Structure formats: structure tokens, C-alpha cells
Structure 1
Amino acid sequence: MPQAQPAEASSVTVNGYSVHFSAQSTDQLPTEVARQYNIVRSKNRAMLNVSIISEATGESGTGSVEVKTVNLTGQLKTVTMRKIQEQDAVYYIGEIPVANSETLVFDITITPDNSDEPIEVRFKRQFYTN
């Protein structure tokens, strides 16, 4: 199973797919964007955003996106991902509560449709709420 190394970067390319990922506090979202996608804006909530791009076509792709998240004390945090589709773009987003100075380690398994090879990404991000 292909696996990307822990990354600070926001994308990896494996098996003909580029996977883009980011995590940010939801209070950084514009109000109209949060409202449109039913996201609670708060400095104590983070949003994970994942997208799959076909290297062959450059188009947004679909697939399954599963996430396991833990903080540095080993506390498991559940992130339920949901698919957002706008015209030609597809995103997978999930929200999670965060505390000040909390570092989360995201383990993401992406299996693009039309592929039986999962792509695994691990990255960590520290959040500041004060």
C-alpha cells in the first residue's frame, strides 16, 4: 500500500493521483462560505479539507476518504468526512473540536474511485485558539 511520509506540505502525488489536504480553524472561513456548507465558525473547531485530482486529466476526482485523528496525548478524535461538490470540483471536509496549542496528527486513507490502491497521508497541525 503506497504511503506518503509525514508531511508539512499540502499535497502528495501517488499512483497517478494528487491528493491535496489542509486543516484550519473554522473561524478563518468567510461567513458566507461557512453558512453555505453548514460549518460552525469557531476558533475552537478545525476543518480538514481533502481533494483528489487525477494527474492524467487534471480533474477533481471522487473516492472514499477515511480519517483517524489523535492528539499528542493519544486521545482519539473522530472526524466524519462529507463530500462537497461544486460544478467540476469535489472536496471532502470534516470538522473537529480543538483546544489551544493542541497538536493533531491526521492519518488519512484515500481510495480514489477507479483505483484499488489506497493512498495514505499523515500530517500534523498545531492549533491556537487564544
Structure 2
Amino acid sequence: MKRLLAALCLCSITAVAHAEISQKFGAYEVHYNALTTDELLPEVARSYKIERSKTRGLVTMSVLHRNAVGQPSPVPAKISIYATNLSQQLANIEMREIKEGTAIYYLGEFRVAPPDTLRFNATIEVPGEPRIEMTFNQKFYK
């Protein structure tokens, strides 16, 4: 995950820097990011089979569990996510799981027509734990 997130952050070419953001839910942290796929380096997009375009978006998510001493470790989860734009158009985003070594993260692609702001609504299910519901907004620029 660090490789992808580092690539996502390093290749940002917009005026507003994209950074990984997280929200805490008890012993769990959900890390996420959303950007247009034209910001990906060509080799990163190729390795994850992602089409680079100003009208394609990518959302990344990972779920970490902090143990009793505070050490985070990735956990598998079922993630359902949909996005709504300013015109209230709704799009379901299919998330795919990526495992690299001990890292587990999820990628989902969607259409976007910048300038626009999308509201993402996610439901995260970790086996044996209460469901996590979260929302976040991301503004996309031309």
C-alpha cells in the first residue's frame, strides 16, 4: 500500500496536493484518498490496470486495526462505496482488493467531470465487528 499511496501523493500535479486522509473508529483506522487517474504515473496506472484520464477517478481505501500497544496492521474488509455529485447523480463504485506482502488495500474507479465535488459514502465490514459507516467529500479540478 505504501508504494501505491506514495506514488499517488508524489504524482499529484494539481494545485491542491492530494494526501492520504484517515478517520478513526475505535481500534480501527480507515485511510482513503480520491483523485483523477491522469495524476497517476503511467507505470503505476499500468501496473494496477487503471486507465489514465481527467474524467476517471480513483478512490483508495485501507483498514488498519491497532492492537493493545497501538501497532497498526491491515485487515481485510468488505467495502461498499457510492459517490454523489453536486447534481445528485449517484454512482456505485466497485472496489477491488489488492494484497502486496502484508499490505491490504482497495481500489475503485469512477467517472468524474471536473470541476465537481463528490460525496463518497462508504460502508466497511470487518468480520466479527460492528459495521463502519463513513462519508467524505473530494473536490476535483479541471
Q: Which runs of 5+ in 1 are unaligned?
A: 1-8
Report the equivalent of 1:13: 24
Identity %: 37
Q: TM-score, normalised by structure 1?
A: 0.87
Report the equivalent of 1:49: 60
CA distance in 2: counterparts of 1:92 and 1:43, whole angstroms = 21
SS at match of 2:72: coil
Amino acid at match of 2:79: V
Q: How does 1:1-130 map to 2 (within 5 A)?
A: 10-56=21-67, 57-115=71-129, 117-129=130-142
CA distance in 2: counterparts of 1:113 and 1:92, whole angstroms = 16
Structure with higher helix content:
2
Amino acid at match of 2:135: R
SS at match of 1:12: strand
Report the equivalent of 1:4: none
Q: TM-score, normalised by structure 2?
A: 0.80
**Could you list the runs of 4 or more consecutive aligned residues of structure 1 that deviate by over 2 angstroms after TM superposition?**
none
CA distance in 1: counterparts of 2:133 and 2:22, whole angstroms = 12
Q: Which runs of 5+ in 2 are unaligned?
A: 1-19
SS at match of 1:59: strand
SS at match of 1:33: helix
CA distance in 2: counterparts of 1:95 and 1:62, whole angstroms = 19
Deviations 1:55-97 (A, max 9, x none): 1141111111000211111111121111011111011110011
CA distance in 1: counterparts of 2:64 and 2:24, whole angstroms = 9
CA distance in 2: counterparts of 1:125 and 1:102, whole angstroms = 8
Count of aligned residue pairs for this structure pair: 120
RMSD (Å), alpha carbons: 1.3
CA distance in 2: counterparts of 1:40 and 1:113, whole angstroms = 32
